[in-house]
């Protein structure tokens, strides 16, 4: 497979997807997810890590609200990665990420993630290509650790938004009083760098794809939510989980 | 270099080391360490991780008391790794270790460490050789992460104690009222497995030596403390640290 070019990939649902039918399907999937999450928690054998990445206003918060709110809060946590704190900057870049890794039985959603350390940092040239390569290697090792040593299923979603849709949403953040809290004074300056961000994402897809990315057309929320919910459902179904019997005493490690 | 055979390595100081002279040297080193630790903290460019491993009663607690107590507590923390908690067991084995990794400017001492996950676990056959190999690889990747991405200097010490000295110390734990709190009902059963533990340690030296181990003859506390203090001093001196000037504002990552 050649290098993915985001500019060549549609940000919209395929023509044969109807909005209302798809929304109904999503609701049905959410019901199944609820049951499977209960089993996941009871068995506590697997962990689920959902990584949400995408440009500003690509709809990460909306996915969390519309896909994950229906889950039992005892079994799901959301971690938003913001500008690193002083304490976080005093550690390697994966330190704060590892701390937030899901325990077995849990679903953890990352709103932004370790990938910011090879996205915003590259677009603004805070790190050079050599450091980026090293971080990509470290990210691959890290994801393998979670997968191999804690049965963590990692789902990586890129929310693919068009520049037009992004601009519209950012304008809304200014105009809509209920959305103004989301506005950041850098938003428009960052949006001008969408091409550079896409290029940095394309490198993620090329070099950090041991655990594969799903590119989610994200201009229409209903389609984006359907893709994420159905991908999650397929992942949970594949796990072949079962309710555990009486617990044996734990001898040690 | 061939495989290290602990049975062939002396647990005692070389003949030309005199107890009183060596103790005086150690005290002088501790004075230098105090100054260098202050610089380490001020510059906050490097982190120091000291890993103390060794069989029961090999003197890990004594090293912490006699070598590290003289340091500014604002710049040093000690983490003791015990039997993993339920929360820790719900994660990959490096999760709790990563959380305890030192911030830049800090000295972190590990009383036991990630290596227990390929020591006690192997001796008691809780994991097989294939899993041990995977964990060794994960440990190497992890240590490289700390080193490469947080300027962490990792010092790994194996406290090498003879079976006779170990037995004597364990007897003291029973007889000496001030040491009884350290006694664990498994201690003598574990001590019978010293040969098996040594073999597991030899594997650590063979497969997890990217960051090298120091084997410390540990039957005599004064020699053990001298070796650790002088190794730490040499490490700090090599860093070529300097006091920082006025801080520039931090632009981001």
Q: How confident is the model at residue A156, as a pLDDT?
A: 98
Q: How confident is the model at residue A161, as a pLDDT?
A: 97
Q: Does the CB of B107 have a partner CB in chain A at under 8 Å?
A: no
- Mean pLDDT for the stretch of residues A82-108: 96
Residue B168 has pLDDT above 50, yes or no: yes
Q: How confident is the model at residue A136, as a pLDDT?
A: 98
- Mean pLDDT for the stretch of residues A193-215: 97
pLDDT digits (tens, 9 = 90+) for A117-131: 999 999 999 999 999
Q: How confident is the model at residue A70, as a pLDDT?
A: 75
Residue B184 has pLDDT above 70, yes or no: yes
Instruction: Pull the structure tokens for residue A227.
Output: 């893709």
Q: How confident is the model at residue A245, as a pLDDT?
A: 65
Nearest to A146 by CA among A249, A43, A51: A51
Nearest to A11 by CA among A188, A224, A203, A227: A224
State the nearest Cα–Cα gap between B145 and chain A, in angstroms: 7
**Three-state SS across chain A?**
CCCCCHHHCCCCCCCCCCHHHHHHHHHHHHHHHHHHHHHHHHHCCCEEEEEEECCCCCCHHHHHHHHHCCCCHHHEEEEECCCCCHHHHCCCCCHHHHHCCCCCCCEEEEECCHHHHHCHHHHCCCCCHHHHHHHHHHHHHHHHHHHHHHCEEEEEEEEECCHHHHHHHHHHHHHCCCCHHHCCCCHHHHHCCHHHHHHHHHHHHHHCCCCCEEEEECCCHHHHHHHHHHHHHHHHHHCCCCCCCCCCCCCCC
Mean pLDDT of chain B: 92
Least confident range of A67-81, A221-235, B178-192: B178-192
Going by pLDDT thresholds of 50, 70 and 90, the confidence category of residue A251 is very low
Q: List phi, psi (to 5°) of A233.
A: -60, -45
Residue B28 has pLDDT above 50, yes or no: yes
**Three-state SS across chain B?**
CCCCCHHHCCCCCCCCCCHHHHHHHHHHHHHHHHHHHHHHHHHCCCEEEEEEECCCCCCHHHHHHHHHCCCCHHHEEEEECCCCCHHHHCCCCCHHHHHCCCCCCCEEEEECCHHHHHCHHHHCCCCCHHHHHHHHHHHHHHHHHHHHHHCEEEEEEEEECCHHHHHHHHHHHHHCCCCHHHCCCCHHHHHCCHHHHHHHHHHHHHHCCCCCEEEEECCCHHHHHHHHHHHHHHHHHHCCCCCCCCCCCCCCC
Residue B218 to residue B239: CA distance in whole angstroms: 27
Q: How confident is the model at residue B245, as a pLDDT?
A: 64
Residue A94 has pLDDT above 50, yes or no: yes
Helix axes A194-207, A129-150, angle to 10 degrees: 50
- Contacts across the A-B interface (CB distance below 8 Å): 110
Going by pLDDT thresholds of 50, 70 and 90, the confidence category of residue B249 is very low
Q: How confident is the model at residue A182, as a pLDDT?
A: 76
State whether A252 and B135 contact (CB < 8 Å).
Answer: no
Instruction: Check residues A224 and B249 and name the one with the higher pLDDT.
Output: A224
Going by pLDDT thresholds of 50, 70 and 90, the confidence category of residue A246 is low
Going by pLDDT thresholds of 50, 70 and 90, the confidence category of residue B72 is confident
CATH architecture, domain B13-238:
3-Layer(aba) Sandwich (3.40)
pLDDT digits (tens, 9 = 90+) for A116-168: 999 999 999 999 999 999 999 999 999 999 999 999 999 999 999 999 999 99
- Mean pLDDT for the stretch of residues B8-24: 97
A-chain residues near B90 (CB < 8 A): 44, 47, 103-106, 150
B-chain residues near A150 (CB < 8 A): 90-92, 95
Say whether domain A49-65+76-236 belongs to CATH 3.40.1280.10. no
State whether A252 and B98 contact (CB < 8 Å).
Answer: no
pLDDT digits (tens, 9 = 90+) for A100-112: 999 999 999 999 9
B118, closest residue in chain A (CA to CA): A253
Instruction: Check residues B71 and B229 and name the one with the higher pLDDT.
Output: B229
- Mean pLDDT for the stretch of residues A36-45: 93
State whether A101 and B94 contact (CB < 8 Å).
Answer: no
Residue B212 to residue A230: CA distance in whole angstroms: 48
Residue A79 to residue A172: CA distance in whole angstroms: 25
Q: Does the CB of A21 have a partner CB in chain B at under 8 Å?
A: no
> Which candidate from B92, B99, B148 shows the least CB-CB separation from A145?
B92
Residue A206 to residue A5: CA distance in whole angstroms: 10
Rg (CA), chain A: 19
pLDDT digits (tens, 9 = 90+) for B85-132: 999 999 999 999 999 999 999 999 999 999 999 999 999 999 999 999
Q: Does the CB of B251 have a partner CB in chain A at under 8 Å?
A: yes
Residue A113 to residue A159: CA distance in whole angstroms: 13
Beta strand B152-160 with A76-80: parallel, antiparallel or unpaired?
unpaired
Q: How buried is residue B94: exposed, middle or buried, by Cβ count under 10 Å (0-12/13-18/19+)?
A: buried
Mean pLDDT of chain A: 92
> Which candidate from A91, A148, A149 shows the least CB-CB separation from B101?
A91
HSE (CB half, 13 Å, CA atoms) of B246?
2
Instruction: Check residues B71 and B232 and name the one with the higher pLDDT.
Output: B232
Residue B199 has pLDDT above 70, yes or no: yes
């Amino acid at each position: 497979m050649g290098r993915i070019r985001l500019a060549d990939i549609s940000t919209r649902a395929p023509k044969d997807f109807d909005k209302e039918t798809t929304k109904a399907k999503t609701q049905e999937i959410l019901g199944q997810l609820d049951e499977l999450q209960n089993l996941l928690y009871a068995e506590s054998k697997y962990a689920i890590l959902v990584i949400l990445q995408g440009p500003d206003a690509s709809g990460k918060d909306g996915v969390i609200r519309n896909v994950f709110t229906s889950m039992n809060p005892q079994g799901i946590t959301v971690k938003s990665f913001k500008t690193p704190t002083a304490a976080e900057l005093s550690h390697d870049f994966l330190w704060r990420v590892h701390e937030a890794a899901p325990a077995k039985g849990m679903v953890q959603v990352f709103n932004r993630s370790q990938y910011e350390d090879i996205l915003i940092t590259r677009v603004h040239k805070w790190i050079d290509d050599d450091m980026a390569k090293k971080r990509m290697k470290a990210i691959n090792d890290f994801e393998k650790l979670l997968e191999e040593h804690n049965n963590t299923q990692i789902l990586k979603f890129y929310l693919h938004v068009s520049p037009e849709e992004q601009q519209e949403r950012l304008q809304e953040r200014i105009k809509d009083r209920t959305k103004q809290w989301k506005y950041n004074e850098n938003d428009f300056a960052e949006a001008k760098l969408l091409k550079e961000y896409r290029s940095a994402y394309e490198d993620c897809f090329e070099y950090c794809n041991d655990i594969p990315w799903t590119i989610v057309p994200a201009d229409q929320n209903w389609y984006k939510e359907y893709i994420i919910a159905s991908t999650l459902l397929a992942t949970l179904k594949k796990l072949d989980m079962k309710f555990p019997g009486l617990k044996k005493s734990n001898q040690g490690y």
